[in-house]
Structure 1
Amino acid sequence: EFAEPLVDTLHKKNLFSLGEDRYLTNILLKPFPTVRTKFTPDAVAHTILPKSW
């Protein structure tokens, strides 16, 4: 639904091409339109890296 091969407008570029954080936010907000998001500069994320590529 959020994948589109032809990105020919600024709106589509912002919606589809800004990275996975934007993509995941759109998925979260679509079914919950009254929910708000907020930037939290002190947020911490943990990632498990692969041992090989």
Structure 2
Amino acid sequence: MAYYSEKGAVYHIYKNCSLGNNIESKNRKSGTRGKPLCKLCKKIKDKKERGK
């Protein structure tokens, strides 16, 4: 599930993203809000897709 921080410029899709894990629960919102995907989440996604 996609999530983002009200204060951040990107959204996240993986719980093991070190940047996404630093978002405090009070600032975490569900969805993308039209923000670009986090670079670390993109790396994780690309790695998973190459492993298929």
TM-score (norm 1): 0.27
**Of the two structures, which has the highest relative contact order with CA contacts closer than 8 Å and spacing of 6 or more?**
2
Largest Rg, 1 or 2? 1
Structure number with higher helix proportion: 2
Larger fraction in strand: 2
